[in-house]
Amino acid sequence: MPVTKTAKRALRSSKKKESINKTILSKLEIALKLARKTKSKKNIENAVSLADKAAKRKVIHANKAGNIKSSLSRI
């Protein structure tokens, strides 16, 4: 456990960021599954949008977002 005041503050911050990142990533994974399964234009656009947002927030790497978008465009 953290001892100093700044370490405690950093722990609180990292826990908040972790929960936000998990929700972003889980939404992206669900959207990808749905887009690959149904192959509708609306679902693909939603998944691409979420991939871009996750890359912007640095939850996933920008190149991974590009790979996701490329694979979805082939569907």
Per-residue pLDDT at 1: 87
Choosing among 3.40.190.10, 2.60.120.10, 1.20.58.110, 2.40.30.10, the CATH entry for 5-73 is: 1.20.58.110
**Is pTM, for the whole model, over 0.85?**
yes
Distances (CA, A) of 65 to 41, 48, 52: 18, 8, 6
List the domain boundaries for the chain.
5-73
What CA dihedral angle connects 19, 25, 27 and 30, to 10 degrees?
-140
What string of pLDDT tens digits covers the 75 residues of the chain?
Answer: 899 999 999 999 999 999 999 999 999 999 999 999 999 999 999 999 999 999 999 999 999 999 999 999 998
